[in-house]
Chain A
Amino acid sequence: MNIHTYEKVWLAASMVLIVGFIATITYGAVGPGVSMISDDGGSIDPSEINDDERFEETGVTHVGGNEYEVAVLAQAWSYSPDEIEVPAGSEVTFYVTSPDVTHSFSVVGTNVNTMVVPGQVSEMTVEFDEPGEYGILCNEYCGEYHHTMEGTLSVVPEDEFDLTELSVEAPGEVESGNETTINATVSDGMQTDLETTATLEIGGEQYDEDVTIDGAGSESVEFAVDADQLGEGDHDWTVTVDGEEESGTLSVVDGANDDSGDSDGGDDDA
């Protein structure tokens, strides 16, 4: 076959270019370690997603050290959870799946970007070095309101991040002359022990209780409240721990009125 000299040179240069491209991509995979979304996440029955232990509860969980897992459900037309918070300096593994049609989970302006195909779990591990705010959007058409599907991802400074949860049980009413208790249950979602202080504010007074919670455990803190000290009337209370807050109202009523019973006065973040 008769090939012109220039054409041979061009052919050689083309091959160098092609091999060069393949080499840079291979380097990206083995050097900086950019791995592709793969079949590591496994398959899943879209109608029984909750049966998969990763998706029993969506959201952020701490695995240990600086490692976290985030389970996300992408569905028409929202993400659950739609606000994700992780600490800076962490290594986060996302598990994303869909109960309906194909979506994507794409963190805007980053290379966190995966298709979410029903029947499959997308798994990807990402390092978040710096604090920042990112948008999350669906970039695969998923029905009429596809364009409304969005979320946010906050990477917060490490010392501002916790997975502490608080729930409070308190009576709604107490008779004057009696004592009652406000019980705060503090749970620690991190795998590390948490030393913190639970604070109750009521009737202008502040009560502190130090509490130490084992990693992934929970502790109850009991605040004794003396009705006489408060006096008759409604008293707003607030329990805070580690930035979590819950409040309610305790009514001190006349002792003669004894048709009242204990009831749960606390309500979630009201």
Chain B
Amino acid sequence: MRNAYVDQFPAEARVVKSAFWSSFLALAIGGIFGLVQALHRTDVLRFIDSTDYYTVLTAHGVLLAITFTIFFLVGIFTWAVTTSLDRGVVDIRFTWSWYVMMVTGTVLVAVAIFSGFLEEPPSILGSELYADVLFTFYSPLQAHPIFYIGLVLFVVGTWLAGFDWFRTWWAWRDENADERIPLPTFMVLTTTLFWYICTLGVALSILAFLLPWSLGIVDSVNPLLTRTLFWYFGHAVVYFWLMPTYVMWYIMLPKLSGGKLFSDPLARVVFVLFLLLSTPLGIHHQYLDPGIAEGYKFIAMTNTMFLLLPSLLTAFTVVASMEHGARQRGGEGYLGWLTALPWRDPVFTGMALAGLMFAAAGFSGMINAGMNINYLVHNTWWVVGHFHLTVGTAVALTFMAAAYWFIPQVTGKELWSRSVALGQVLLWFVGMTFMSNAMHRSGLFGMPRRTAEPQYQNFDFEPAVGTVAEMDAQVALGAVLLVVSLVLFLLNMVLTSFNGTSDSIPDNTYAGTLSGPEDAPEILDNLKLWTAIAVVLVIFAYTLPLASIVESGGLFGPGIDGRQLSLGADLEPALETLREVVA
């Protein structure tokens, strides 16, 4: 008797499947745009105008960092809650409603962004569609109102999704009063809580300032304020998309290795630490911002460093669980057990390699977090190399590997090809190694990020080792390999959906624990307490910087107009004139 997720929760499985496919679609478009950028920047192949590069870059950032990750997240979290509580959601119509809301938001945002490719974008609500503002939408760059409205709908959709998980847990708690919160649900709830805390910042930024300003209701904003509110949200969001990855590493990887999770209590501690520390450190993205005193930056730096702790604990627990699994499979010796792991399984191998890459990303992240050394790497390609290891590999590769297990679970269809899947995850690792390594190294000699043509008229970059051309070639090669890998992934997903249903789908289970929840102090499950502490930490970290920003620049800034800096079609001559006038 088959006992896959689709058999246990057919209605929920449809929502999860839809969320996954929304995520894959964003991955497909965003990933291909990534190749366009890599080839354009490195001057290997330029078939778009450099002015359109920024439209491509905006789409790449939003579709991958927000749409791809969060749609996959809501799928995994819905699965985790229902599976671990062994009950469905309270009302499936509500579940569909948040999904539809997220899709609507995404479509609005996409319409605004993609209008950047049109010669003459249509006018809606009295202004031309425009959203070449990148993923960070720093004012005074001003997008069309529907860009902001779309973002709001998307975020509110995730809020409702969070409410859905909470309400499912409340319903379960009524029937299981004395039981500990099952670990996967605990992980989902703590993550949802810090998501509520951090998204308040971006919601405030958009609803109180950017949206009214783009609609012409207020005529000015304080750029440093909206920027600070963005980063209040902007670092926690990286933990938001990292948490489903951690969920996979904690509750799937040990099982795939053939064993159990090393410690349930420490897993809870890790997630509590993320709840506490994810938000009050956003200022570490603003180390080089004027208008924020050094002391606040120091506090953000300290909090960031302490947030290394849960990740270091995770590294221990995950590796220990894998070793436990390998020894169950007959592995021996100090390192010999490594060969006993199921390396032919793309789900396991993809997640393990993603974890390895995340270790490397952790080290480059420690350098970013080092306040004074940050001067050297801030806004260089180094940073891009860093987050292609984190969100681009630790998260993306784990999600793709997880999809090889999840898609059969939610469809009841067997994976089209496990060998292609294994090749795909390995190829991603190799491609990302090439690309990210060269990005990091380029950043060290000052190559900037976010630019269409990093080839300057009056100076050359001076790498310590190697040449600029060679690093550019390495990035282009890496990007090509990544897109080949991406195509193999999508092909596997599409062909799987054409398979007939199969009876040989494994049961829907997750890893047991060596040291279970009975070893975890009850207080760890006191979500109200941890939320209260998290809020207090946020108040400590942010009240004074925000107050001083408002005091010095005003709530709405001194007459700062919205700007959509473009010269239209091809106005190179106008630009030259402008430069001469200025010079």
Contacts and interface: CB of A to CB of B under 8 A. Distances in A.
Nearest to B306: A18
Nearest to A26: B298
The size bracket of the interface on B is: 35 or more
B141 A143 contact: yes
A200 to B, nearest CB: 30
A75 interface: yes
B224 A120 contact: yes
B563 A143 contact: yes
Contacts of B528: none
A146 B558 CA distance: 24
Given A11-B313, A36-B372, A139 B297 contact: no
Given A11-B313, A36-B294, A134-B459, A139 B451 contact: yes
Contacts of B8: none
Contacts of B380: 139
B548 interface: yes
B309 A118 contact: no
Given A102-B227, A119-B557, A141-B450, A15 B309 contact: yes
Nearest to A36: B294
A17 B308 contact: yes
Given A11-B313, A113-B378, A25 B301 contact: yes
Residue from B312, B370, B448, B521 having most chain A Cβ neighbours under 10 A:
B448
Contacts of A80: 582-583
A46 interface: yes
A78 B582 contact: yes
Interface in B259-312: 262-263, 265-266, 286-294, 297-298, 301-302, 305-306, 308-309, 312
A152 interface: yes
Nearest to A150: B456
Nearest to B446: A108
B566 A144 contact: yes
Given A25-B371, A35-B294, A139-B448, A145 B456 contact: no
Interface stretch (A2-10, A64-72, A167-175, A250-258): A2-10
B227 A135 contact: no
Interface string B364-399: 001001111101101110000000000000000000
Contact of A119 (B223, B450, B548): B223
B93 interface: no
Contacts of A43: 291, 552-553, 558
B54 A144 contact: yes
A10 B269 CA distance: 15
Nearest to A122: B290
A109 interface: yes
B52 to A, nearest CB: 9
Contact of A115 (B290, B306, B312, B451): B290
Interface string B487-525: 000000000000000000000000000010001110000
A183 B570 CA distance: 48
B526 interface: no
Interface string A16-37: 0110011011001100001111
B168 to A, nearest CB: 28
A118 B558 CA distance: 10
Given A1-B265, A3-B266, A7-B316, A106 B372 contact: no
B141 A42 contact: no
Given A41-B290, A80-B583, 4 more contacts: A7-B313, A22-B305, A36-B294, A139-B378
8 contacts: A28-B371, A38-B297, A39-B293, A43-B553, A78-B579, A101-B138, A144-B566, A148-B575
3 A-B pairs with the lowest CB-CB distances in the bound complex, closest first? A143-B565, A135-B459, A111-B375
